[in-house]
Structure 1
Amino acid sequence: MDSLWNELTLAFSRTSMFPFFDIAHYLVSVMALKHQPGAAAMAWKNPLSSWFTAMLHCFGGGILSCVLLAEPPLRFLANNTNILLASSIWYMIFFCPCDLVSQGYSFLPVQLLAAGMKEVTRTWKICTAPKTKIRKGNDKAEEFTFSGAGGSIITNFEQLVKGCWKPEADEWLKMSYPAKVTLLGSVIFTFQQTKHLAISRHNLMFLYTMFLVVTKITMMITETAVMPFACFEDTLNRILFGWQQQFSSCEKRSETKSSLNGTGSSTSKPIADASDKVQKKHTKKTE
């Protein structure tokens, strides 16, 4: 049984992403771009700008990795095959007659299949970063994160160039699901590479990929944006930072009690003085 499992995970770790998994990644990325307001009109009005934006979504992780490694950010253009493949998908999505590609993508099974295959490529992007990173001697987890979630991070730069950047929706201030789940994978694979996690690389790749695929498909079927580890985040937040809120609430309660006691004592004095005056007047009348 163990040998069968090892053979399965090894075969899975040696699976090539080209061309089918790469096609799924480009398809999901460009369709997400098309669903943005005004993206279709932009493609007809300025095709070059639309194409360049699509390439940012498709190759965002590679661009950010090159920037961090002090390499040319447009090095991804050297891969002619992937550029032609991504450009073909962009052209078919935006300029296909009768919008057939978008209509075909609107079926839920197609979306689930494409999204699951895209999550597989996320694992491969995270795992292909260490070799270059070790030579440069920088932080491994940071490189992993940019490689696996570059599209969501580079969107901030794209919006800034277009003049429609919204600071409240910044990826660093409000991390999206891809960024969070990639950061989690980056830490896990970093521990595995530094021998702090006793598990083989191919087994970890298989388990992490299954977690990504199942989680993404579940979120799409249930149509919910709740993160799978939202409960864990809430619990950790209460453990690390909730005690300060409890102390502040206790202080507020004590302050309100003390203020109430102070006002009660101050109001009791005028009542006592008034009663003394009434008694004095009564005694004068009786005399």
Structure 2
Amino acid sequence: MDPETFLEVANHVSKLKMYPYFEIAHCAVTLLYLREDLASGSHLFSRKHPLSCYISSMFSIFAGYMFSALLLGEPVLSAFKNNQSLILASAVWYLMFYSPFDVVYKFCKLLPVKLLLSLAKEITRAKKVHDGVHHAAKLYPNGYLIMVIIGVIKGNGTSFLKVYERLLRGYWTPNAIEIMQPSFATKICVIASIVFVVDKKTDLISAPHSLVYFGVVCFFLYFKLSSMLLGLHDPFLPFENLTCAIFFGGIWDAISRALNKGGDAQSGGSKDAKDVAAKKKE
């Protein structure tokens, strides 16, 4: 592709408006995951507890905005100030849970449709990470860690607030804390946030900003396709295991266990020898 054409495509992607189509995809995919979390009880729960179902759904959809606002000392409820986005999310929620014969949910579960929605959500995720980093940069120009944190929270806030979202449904799972077992989405949001911070605050990246943004979008789309079509869920896991083994005590723990086993074997051998000698004396 001609470099000028490629740059023009990158400029168009960086200027994409999220409302309404990409926001619809974000809401639909978030509610699909919510229904999967409810499993077979989703139908009964939505009928018996419609208010809890609605509040937990809105909590999941706007989790990134709410959590980032809380961390930055901004009004948490400002996430709901956009009436158009709130009405759109409410409409998607209603169709996802209460459409006749559950036709909307079944349609969204079809692989081609789910794949299309998921890819659109990844474009939305990249936009949220980008906006989160830039918003934090305005408030804390030298707070690089803050920029990364807000970018990650904006991009994957639903996972960080999953415990509280479940609590709104009367289901308490304290072990499902994102920082204990970070999901792949969180990891790629960390990488994207770092890239945006480096691009904004340093001269290490000489490419135009729109090209960097387009690269992050392609990065998100590639891994989502790999996850859904090839079953590649977390390619970072081998590197994490290697890093933990080298830098976080893995090697020393293995050496310690080996030495302990060797000591136990020697003590066991000497004990057996003493038993044999005692039997000979008898």
The within-5 A match list for 1:155-234 is 155-195=162-202, 197-200=204-207, 201-222=209-230, 224=231, 226-234=233-241
Compute the displacement of 1:145 (Å). 1.0
**Do the aligned partners of residues 253 and 43 (structure 1) sit closer, same or farther apart at CA in structure 2, a change above 3 Å counting?**
closer
Compute the displacement of 1:150 (Å). 0.5
The alignment status of 1:93 with 2:86, answered yes or no, reads no
% same residue: 26
Name stretches of at least 5 consecutive residues in structure 1 with no aligned partner: 275-287
1:154-190 per-residue CA deviation (whole Å, 9 max, x = no partner) reads 1111223433222222222122222222122222322
The within-5 A match list for 1:48-67 is 48-67=51-70
1:43-99 per-residue CA deviation (whole Å, 9 max, x = no partner) reads 222322211111111111000011011111111211011111111111111121222
Letter in 1 for 2:101: C
Could you tell me how far apart the structure 2 residues matched to 1:103 and 1:271 are? 76
2:243 aligned residue: 236
Could you tell me how far apart the structure 2 residues matched to 1:94 and 1:161 are? 17
Could you tell me how far apart the structure 1 residues matched to 2:93 and 2:178 are? 25
2:264 aligned residue: 256
1:134 and 1:140 in contact (8 A); partners too:
yes
Could you tell me how far apart the structure 1 residues matched to 2:6 and 2:165 are? 43
TM-score normalised per structure 2: 0.88
Deviating runs (4+, > 4 A) in structure 1?
271-274
Compute the displacement of 1:14 (Å). 1.3
The alignment status of 1:107 with 2:91, answered yes or no, reads no
Letter in 2 for 1:42: F
Could you tell me how far apart the structure 1 residues matched to 2:176 and 2:70 are? 23
Letter in 1 for 2:44: A
1:39 and 1:50 in contact (8 A); partners too:
no
Compute the displacement of 1:114 (Å). 0.3
Name stretches of at least 5 consecutive residues in structure 2 with no aligned partner: none
Greater Rg over alpha carbons, structure: 1
Could you tell me how far apart the structure 2 residues matched to 1:211 and 1:61 are? 20
Pairs aligned (count): 273
Compute the displacement of 1:191 (Å). 2.4
Letter in 2 for 1:34: R
Could you tell me how far apart the structure 2 residues matched to 1:206 and 1:270 are? 79
Q: Output the aligned Cα RMSD.
A: 2.1
2:78 aligned residue: 75
1:16 aligned residue: 17
